[in-house]
Amino acid sequence: MTTATAEDRIRDTVTSNDVVLFMKGTKTMPQCGFSSRVAGVLNYMGVEFADVNVLADEAIRQGIKDYSDWPTIPQLYVKGEFVGGCDIVTEMTLSGELDQLFEAKNIAYSKDAAEKIREANA
């Protein structure tokens, strides 16, 4: 029996969940500020998402960087597509691009919460 490679497990996770956040820690117990910020935005906006704790698996921690060709954690995926890390997700939230992405991909989220984030950061 062959065990799935880190890349296989990452691909399976990304394709079988609408929204996935590869992060340090979990959505309820983030282990770094950047992971906490992105998880916080998603939680606040009421987005259902799978969280993958890269600290629990070194193969995944390195594998996700290779998979996306992106050097940092956290990494957000929506419907199998790499969206970005903390800075990109923050910018997209503030510009309204994240709302547009969720709408285009039929991802449920709170428009009111997204507006509140923008108001608070205006």
Q: Long-range contacts of range 67-71, CB-CB < 8 Å, 24 or more positions apart?
A: 67/7, 67/10, 67/11, 67/14
* Residue found by looking up tokens 């991909």 in the block: 105
Query: Which structure tokens are listed for 50?
Result: 């799978």
86 is in an annotated binding site: no
Tokens linked to 101: 């992405």
Residues making up the binding site: 32
Residues making up the binding site for [2Fe-2S] cluster: 32
